[in-house]
């Protein structure tokens, strides 16, 4: 059996330690039962995320997180342990954290969870029920990786 493989590519000019992001990703995947999978996390800026959003979603604007699942589509059976890629814009995460009165670290945790949930099949854009399921799972996972954060009850 393969073991969990987490690849983190920090493309920021200012070097941030990746160990906390790695640890949180591992906690999330273990909680989801994906402890023998492979995932790639890219931390980048609004310029690159805007390019990706335009190329893959037809939206010419930066966004906070993009997910590229490898568990769906015609080639999903080639590498069944490969979950896919999560790309997070640190620029947008910082702006959203400031606007929301939370730390950048907390916002990055929220975006990491959101991206990973998309990789395993959650999709809030499919309707209200799916959005609520994704929100509940997000809060459950956030409680695991950020136990000191005051979160609303379900």
pLDDT tens for 47-67 read 999 999 999 999 999 999 999
Domain residue extents for the chain: 5-145
| 16 contact partners, CB below 8 Å, separation of at least 6 | 10, 43, 90
Mean pLDDT confidence for 7-15: 83
Assess whether pLDDT exceeds 90 at residue 154. Answer: no
CATH 3.40.390.30 fits 5-145, yes or no: yes
| Per-residue pLDDT band at 1 (split at 50, 70, 90) | very low
Question: Whole-angstrom Cα distance, residue 97 to residue 92?
Answer: 8
Task: For the chain, report the end-to-end CA distance as a whole number of angstroms.
Answer: 35
Mean pLDDT confidence for 87-93: 95
pLDDT at 2: 58
Question: Whole-angstrom Cα distance, residue 23 to residue 31?
Answer: 12
| Per-residue pLDDT band at 78 (split at 50, 70, 90) | low
| 90 contact partners, CB below 8 Å, separation of at least 6 | 12, 16, 43, 44, 45, 104, 108
Assess whether pLDDT exceeds 80 at residue 85. Answer: yes
- What mean pLDDT, rounded, does the chain reach? 87
Question: How many C-beta atoms lie closer than 10 Å to residue 69's C-beta?
Answer: 18
């Amino acid at each position: 059996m393969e073991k969990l493989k987490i690849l983190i590519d920090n493309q920021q000019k200012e070097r941030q330690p990746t160990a906390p992001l790695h640890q949180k990703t591992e906690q999330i995947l273990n909680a989801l039962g994906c402890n023998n999978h492979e995932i790639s996390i890219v931390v980048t800026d609004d310029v690159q995320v805007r390019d990706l959003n335009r190329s893959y979603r037809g939206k010419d604007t930066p966004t906070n997180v993009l997910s590229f699942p490898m568990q769906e589509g015609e080639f999903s059976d080639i590498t069944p342990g490969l979950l896919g890629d999560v790309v997070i814009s640190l620029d947008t995460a910082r702006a959203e954290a400031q606007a929301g009165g939370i730390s950048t670290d907390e916002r990055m945790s929220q975006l990491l969870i959101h991206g990973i949930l998309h990789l395993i099949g959650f999709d809030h854009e499919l309707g209200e029920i799916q959005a609520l399921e994704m929100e509940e799972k997000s809060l459950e996972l956030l409680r695991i990786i950020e136990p000191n954060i005051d979160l609303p009850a379900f």
